[in-house]
Amino acid sequence: MTRRLLSALLATALFAAGVSAQAGQPDADAIVTRAARNFRALTSLQADFRQRIEDPFLGPTNQRGVMSQSGTSRFAMRFTEPANEAIVLDGTNTWIYTPSTVAGMVRRSPMPSGPTYGLNLLAWFLDRPLERYRVSYVKTEEIDGRRCDVLLLEAVAADLPFRRATVWFDREDALPRRLEIQERPIRRIIELTRLRPNIALAPGVFTFTVPNGVRVIDQKS
């Protein structure tokens, strides 16, 4: 066998192996499309969350609490650590109450119409994702005994507040279990557990009540 023929056969084998591997890889667009469809079909979603914010200037911060969602216009993160803090989107306004960092006041601003819907983290990724991101498959990984497809979402819309995010989508229900978001300039890591879809949420979960003695600061969106 000539060297030229051997090289041609080797190149053909490597090409075929590459095509086979690519063909066996899950379809990233199909995964995120299914996740978006399942998200839109929800009447509500509630989950426990752990959040870590890595700020190059202030250092890391660890938080936890309960996240609630209803459509793209109602969203709440109510913290148990730091206790009693909250981020609430009530459908009209965004309320940010973080007395551990800004004492004695709550910030209120009109809810933006899109594309990020303010601080509604789940809608960032699950409302029309293929219009906003270039999506690629990263790997398969297990989280808390659940098999997940890990996707890289790279922003193509200029007004998104981050460059890229890695999202772990549960293979069973297609809902996110972990998000790693590279914002400007921080890195945010969110882990969701005990997901409770389509439950009747407690009255007032998307209502922010201003605590006594706390001043409301109105801001532009």
What's the CA dihedral at 65, 36, 120, 181 to 10 degrees? 80
Token readout for 200 is: 């009747």
Distance, in Å, from the CA atom of 177 to the CA atom of 29, rounded to the nearest integer, reads 18
- Range 140-162 average pLDDT: 89
Amino acid symbol at 137: Y
Amino acid symbol at 15: F
Token readout for 37 is: 């469809």
For 42, which DSSP code? -
Domain spans in the chain, listed from the N-terminal domain onward: 26-218
Distance, in Å, from the CA atom of 203 to the CA atom of 151, rounded to the nearest integer, reads 35
List own/partner pairs for 74-80 with CB under 8 A and 24 or more apart: 74/206, 75/117, 75/119, 75/120, 75/121, 75/122, 75/123, 75/206, 76/205, 76/206, 77/49, 77/119, 78/205
Using pLDDT thresholds of 50, 70 and 90, give the confidence band for residue 6.
very low
**Coil, strand or helix: which one is 13?**
helix
Amino acid symbol at 31: I
Using pLDDT thresholds of 50, 70 and 90, give the confidence band for residue 199.
very high
pLDDT tens digits along 160-197: 777 899 999 999 999 999 999 998 889 999 999 999 99
- Range 54-68 average pLDDT: 94
pLDDT tens digits along 87-126: 999 989 999 999 999 999 999 999 876 655 557 788 888 8
Residues contacting 12, CB < 8 A, separation 6+? none
Q: Which CATH architecture has domain 26-218?
A: Clam (2.50)
